[in-house]
Amino acid sequence: MASRFIFLTLLIFLVEESRCSTRRPEVNTLQPGATTQCLVPFLNPSRGWKKESFPNPRVNVTLCGRECTQSWVCDPSGILNTRDADILDEKIDIIASNGICGCRTCLAGTDGYKIGVALVRKMEIGSFAVVDNVDKDNLAMEFSAYLRSVSWKYGKCDDSIVIFYSQEDRKVMTSTGERVKQVLSINCTGAIFNEAKPMLRNDHVFEALEHMVTRYGQVLRTGECYPSPEPVELSIGMVILIVIICFFVLVAAVIGGVCGWRRTHGGYHRGRSNDPDSSRGDPEKIDDEGTNDPDKSSGDPEKFRGGETGDGGGVAGGSF
């Protein structure tokens, strides 16, 4: 009996040692003053988030699902895989350390615009009732602006950006600080969102976020939302072709002018009214029917929602 007890005790001890040897070491890689230990977090994909309780990937790395590494990406629901989040971090690190920032003094090779990315499965609506899609737009705008200006507050002179993505709500919003907005305007942010919208609609979340981060970096570096195209050098053959086309266009214009003069003064169209408006429809009637209305003829163009925030920043984005 005693031998069985000793054998069971030894077996339990060996099992515990084996479990301890396979645990991830508890290494603290956070900022000074942070007390969170480096453990693999438990991800809850179905949880809804409020802006006030959303973690900071520069401090609460484990809650953001980034496994012991300070990050610019907070993804507590595990929407991105680790490799994709690492790629976004690498791209943002380059922008954050390129020495181009909105502050009066930028340290070369150190300072740069800071971009944070927040991903949630859904937003927690709270106690108020959501009437329509506009309420969710406003909630997403507030979420991104709060992270940028209150909770995360990256940068030294309001030169930060936060991209907010909500999967089930189908929302993406980008909040830009006042300094950023002077280079990356709300209109430009909205245009870049429209570029990424087809990727978002096909659930290519990483590709869309990578495109947005890359485009933001280009605009912040060059100061142009759409860089001017490089001049095209024309070959001799192209020049000859253009001259020939211009010659035929000129000949056609001369012939057309002569024919028009003969019709007006030649007299062979006597009996027809010379009133140019007689053969046309009533313009007022046409307007009433809507055929001259550019909005009705061209359809509803792609639009984005955007606006100012109370601290001088801006928010742009919308549904996808």
d(CA 316, CA 308): 9
Record the pTM.
0.64
How is residue 43 written in tokens? Answer: 């991800």
| pLDDT at residue 217, as a whole number | 95
| pLDDT at residue 7, as a whole number | 57
220: confidence class by pLDDT, cuts 50, 70, 90: very high
314-319: strand order across its sheet: 73-74, 114-120, 160-166, 171-176, 314-319, 305-308
For the CA atoms of 243, 246, 250, 255, the dihedral, rounded to the nearest 10 degrees, stands at 110
Name the residue with tokens 């899609």.
133
Express each pLDDT in 34-93 by its tens digit: 444 455 555 566 678 999 999 999 998 889 998 878 999 999 999 999 999 999 999 999
Average pLDDT over residues 96-118: 88
Q: Where are the alpha helices (DSSP H) in the chain?
A: 2-21, 82-96, 133-146, 178-181, 186-201, 205-222, 236-265, 283-289, 294-298
| Domain 81-227+303-319, CATH number (from 3.40.50.970, 3.10.150.10, 3.10.310.50, 3.40.50.10130) | 3.10.310.50
Express each pLDDT in 260-288 by its tens digit: 766 766 554 444 444 444 444 444 444 44
Express each pLDDT in 15-31 by its tens digit: 444 443 333 333 333 33
Q: Identify the DSSP state of 318.
A: E
Q: Identify the DSSP state of 126.
A: -
Report strand pairing: 114-120 vs 160-166: parallel
Q: Where are the domains of the chain?
A: 81-227+303-319
193: confidence class by pLDDT, cuts 50, 70, 90: very high
